[in-house]
């Protein structure tokens, strides 16, 4: 598959709207990033499915995943819109399938439906979902993926499991008009080798693994390939994505401290060491080298989070103009 790129829009989860006081203006800042990406070489825009901020819960905006997926789909014309990833614990899986089917049509079939088991304990408990231990969450996740697949491929499906059941739900429209073999593209996030990657091999159109780390991506994809062989799935038809958190391109020869000074001032005078922690700040060549390592490990789709886009689109345009062409 040809290399493609997606970009996260600022929705508040990473404290990336806090310098905009009005919630309406925050929403428009998010939408404006989506529209800017829509006019560039990006294949997709992405949102997170979280309800409280990180690195800790604060009294700040975090816009809800599927509400903004639907509105961003209508505010753009070309890019796909995805979630990295929808948390199974926050919606009944049959309802998730119905929501995704609806948004897929609203977007003119530009939806990437991301799905995962979930992990952020604080927001689970705060919203009254409890927080099942890992083994139970994974059993629930397995059943949920089966239900979603049935909802998108069968008429009046049935399923009776330990945690979920369905009894003949009607989910129309579930396919694109005139293309009965098409279903909503399912992206499964996570690298669990016994459950998650096996579900990818059985049901998913794409996976997201490795956090942009080639040394993690390669062995996970090798496991996925073995699962595909066991279930008779064509490994090559699965999109292999990875997420690069905090990619921030700067001009060749620029000093990183100076290049980030304006944004750090916007963020309340943040020092460079704090801002740079965990981020990939560098030239197009340096960022491209990191991405190329992931490509060599088997990745064919990169999803990047670029800090500060609510306040300045320039780093996203630089990435589009200087990094993406390296993989064309």
The predicted-structure confidence for 256-307, as pLDDT tens digits, reads as follows 999 999 999 999 899 999 999 999 999 999 999 999 999 999 999 999 999 9
Query: pTM to 2 decimals?
Result: 0.95
CA 65 from chain centre, in angstroms, equals 10
Q: Dig out the tokens for 257 from the structure.
A: 């401290």
The per-residue DSSP string of 80-136 comes to: EEEES-EEGGGS-HHHHHHHHHHHHHHTTS-EEEEEE----HHHHHHTT-----HHH
pLDDT of 183 reads: 84
pLDDT of 301 reads: 98
pLDDT of 44 reads: 98
pLDDT of 182 reads: 72
Torsions phi, psi of 60, nearest 5? -135, 160
pLDDT of 177 reads: 54
pLDDT of 36 reads: 98
Are the C-beta atoms of residues 300 and 240 closer than 8 Å to each other? yes
pLDDT-above-90 percentage for the chain: 94
pLDDT of 296 reads: 97
pLDDT of 2 reads: 78
Q: If you classify domain 4-327 with CATH, what class do you get?
A: alpha beta
Q: How far apart are CA 175 and CA 152, in angstroms?
A: 7
Q: How far apart are CA 50 and CA 53, in angstroms?
A: 8
Are the C-beta atoms of residues 261 and 322 closer than 8 Å to each other? no
pLDDT of 328 reads: 82
The residues spanned by each domain of the chain are: 4-327
Q: What is the pLDDT along the chain (328 residues), one digit of tens a residue?
A: 679 999 999 999 999 999 999 999 999 999 999 999 999 999 999 999 999 999 899 999 999 999 999 999 999 999 999 999 999 999 999 999 999 999 999 999 999 999 999 999 999 999 999 999 999 999 999 999 999 999 999 999 999 999 999 999 999 988 765 566 678 999 999 999 999 999 999 999 999 999 999 999 999 999 999 999 999 999 999 999 999 999 999 999 999 999 999 999 999 899 999 999 999 999 999 999 999 999 999 999 999 999 999 999 999 999 999 999 999 8
pLDDT of 174 reads: 81
Are the C-beta atoms of residues 153 and 183 closer than 8 Å to each other? yes
pLDDT of 221 reads: 98
Q: How far apart are CA 6 and CA 11, in angstroms?
A: 15
């Amino acid at each position: 598959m040809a290399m493609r790129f997606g970009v996260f829009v600022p929705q508040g989860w990473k404290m990336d709207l806090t310098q905009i006081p009005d919630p309406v203006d925050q929403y428009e800042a998010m939408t404006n990033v989506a529209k800017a990406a829509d006019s560039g070489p990006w294949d997709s825009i992405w949102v997170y499915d979280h309800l409280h901020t990180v690195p800790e819960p604060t009294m700040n905006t975090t816009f809800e995943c599927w509400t903004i997926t639907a509105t961003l789909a209508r505010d753009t014309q070309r890019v796909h819109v995805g979630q990295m990833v929808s948390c199974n614990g926050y919606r009944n899986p049959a309802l998730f399938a119905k929501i995704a089917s609806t948004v897929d049509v609203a977007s003119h079939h530009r939806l990437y439906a991301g799905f995962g088991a979930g992990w952020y304990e604080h927001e689970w408990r705060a919203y009254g979902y409890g927080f099942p231990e890992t083994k139970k969450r994974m059993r629930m996740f397995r059943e949920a993926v089966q239900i979603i697949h049935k909802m998108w491929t069968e008429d009046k499906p049935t399923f009776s499991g330990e945690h979920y059941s369905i009894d003949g739900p009607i989910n129309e429209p579930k396919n694109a008009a005139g293309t009965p073999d098409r279903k909503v593209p399912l992206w499964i996030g996570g690298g669990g080798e016994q459950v998650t990657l096996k579900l990818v091999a059985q049901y998913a159109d794409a996976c997201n693994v490795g956090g942009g780390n080639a040394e993690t991506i390669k062995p996970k994809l090798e496991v996925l390939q073995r699962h595909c062989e066991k279930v008779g799935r064509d490994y090559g038809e699965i999109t292999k994505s990875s997420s690069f958190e905090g990619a921030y391109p700067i001009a060749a020869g620029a000093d990183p401290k100076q290049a980030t000074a304006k944004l750090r001032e916007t963020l309340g005078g943040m020092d460079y060491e704090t801002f740079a922690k965990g981020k990939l700040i560098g030239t197009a060549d340096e960022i491209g080298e990191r991405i190329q390592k992931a490509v060599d490990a088997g990745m064919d789709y990169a999803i990047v989070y670029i800090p500060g886009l609510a306040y300045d689109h320039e780093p996203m345009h630089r990435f589009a103009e200087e990094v993406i062409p390296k993989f064309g």
